[in-house]
Amino acid sequence: MRRFRSAMTDRLQPCDLAALKARVIAAARERGAADVRVAPALPDAGARERMRAAFARGDFATWGYGDAYAESASDPRAVLAGARTVVCIAMPYATPAPARRAPLRGRASNYAWSEDYHRRMRALLHELATLIDDVVGESATAIACDTKPIAERAFAARAGLGWIGKHTNLIAPGAGSFVFLGEIVTVLDLPVDAALRKSCGTCSRCVDACPTGALRGDYTIDAGRCIADLTQRTDPIPRELRPYLGEWVWGCDLCQLVCPPTRNAGARAQAAFAPLDERTASPPLTELLALRSGEFKRRYARTAMGWRGAAVLRRNAAIALGNALDRSAVGALARALCEDPHAMVRGAAAWALGRIGSPAALAALRARRNDEGDASVLGEIDAELERVAPAPR
């Protein structure tokens, strides 16, 4: 928290504020934003109660959110003291998926296959905030994108930037849900916009498309079942959920790919959100399984899938290989089972070998059983051997 109103901010007349808002909108649009709208910075009791209910149900158990987070995320004054309005920006990021030519390729989500969007969004927000501060003659803003405690979707919906769909993402009319959100919280009384009167109606395609049953259909999500959450966990992914990950190695787009307003909007984002290259968007799985720090830094550290480190990506590659059920991956998985320095990756490799279940895969599991020193990996090996070839009783 760092700002409050002053004589400088109070001297601005309504016409100055309307002109300033128009300049911000024009500048954001020039830089690729789909839309910019303004919400009052009043605490949002509805969002606070929805969040409280979600946390009490345990929907965000992996995030450690609680009442204190619900309180601050629903009140923009937690980001900027004396906040009066929130400028909400939607930046489209859908770009065409590269053709996947080879077998045994994984799949990364559209939001993560380019240079990290946080950098680009923050640069834009910073530029727009500076424009505002320069007109005011002093600091009158704070920016947020993803990491600050602010319920970005709730304020974007309140500003009329779009509506929150049953997949729980904000859908911007004309741009769909493949939009990043960013905010400039200000102490200025910029003219505010009205919320839209829109909802999903009877559509429930996203709910039907979700492989894990994370979406309930009542505009809530059990985040712990969402593949986007599972692929960024730094502890082992629950065994019963692993088959649902399919070929995803980072994030998941299934609920949005079937969403009619998102489909109709198409892929029209700036080139900055295009895949770094085909291998980043669709990583060869055996290569990803062997990923070490040099290649990780070169390819993934600058994307939004880099923040959890290389071992998480190797773990995800092992699970995707287990789901591919392709015997040609047994050699690579057996190597990972013996040589990977992380127990979590070795455990996932054991699971994948058990899924493939070929004689060579089972032989690799039995051989490693004698040398493995980590109890969690031994547990994975035993669970697979027991499942695929139960010991006679």
For ligand B12, the closer CB: 51 or 269? 51
Contacted by 204, from ligand SF4, ligand B12, none: CB < 5 to 8 Å by type: ligand SF4
Nearer to ligand SF4, 212 or 286 (CB): 212
Which amino acid makes up residue 160?
Answer: G
CB 76 within 8 A of CB 177: no
54 binds ligand B12 (CB under 6 A): yes
Contacts of 378 (CB under 8 A, 6+ apart): 369, 372
Q: Could you tell me how far CA 58 lies from the centroid of its own chain?
A: 19
Contacts of 35 (CB under 8 A, 6+ apart): 89, 90, 161, 162, 172, 174, 175
Instruction: Check if 193 is active-site.
Output: no
Task: Look at residue 46 and give the partner it binds from ligand B12, ligand SF4, none, a contact being a CB closer than 5 to 8 Å depending on partner kind.
Answer: ligand B12
Longest dimension (CA), the chain: 85
Count of positions on this chain that bind ligand B12 (CB under 6 A): 38
Residue 320 in contact with ligand B12, rule: CB under 6 A: no
Q: Residues 208 to 237: which contact ligand B12 by CB under 6 A?
A: 219-221, 223, 226, 228-229
| Shortest reach from residue 114's CB to ligand B12, in Å | 13
Q: How far is the CB of 58 from ligand SF4 (least distance, A)?
A: 16
Count of all residues that appear for the chain in the document: 393
The token duo for 72 is 């601050």
Binding site for ligand SF4 (CB under 6 A): 165-167, 200, 203-206, 209-210, 212, 214-215, 221, 226-228, 252, 254-255, 258-261
Query: DSSP 3-state assignment of 179?
Result: strand
Show contacts with ligand B12 in window 95-124 (CB under 6 A).
109, 111
**Helix spans in 215-358 (H):** 227-230, 254-257, 260-265, 278-281, 285-289, 293-295, 310-324, 330-339, 343-356
Of the residues 35, 59, 67, 146, only one is catalytic, namely 146
Distances (CA, A) of 245 to 15, 168, 263: 53, 20, 22
255 contributes a contact to ligand B12 by CB under 6 A? yes
Contact residues toward ligand B12 (CB under 6 A) are 46-47, 50-51, 54, 60, 63, 73, 109, 111, 145-146, 150-154, 157, 164, 167-170, 177, 179-181, 219-221, 223, 226, 228-229, 251-253, 255
Active site residues: 146
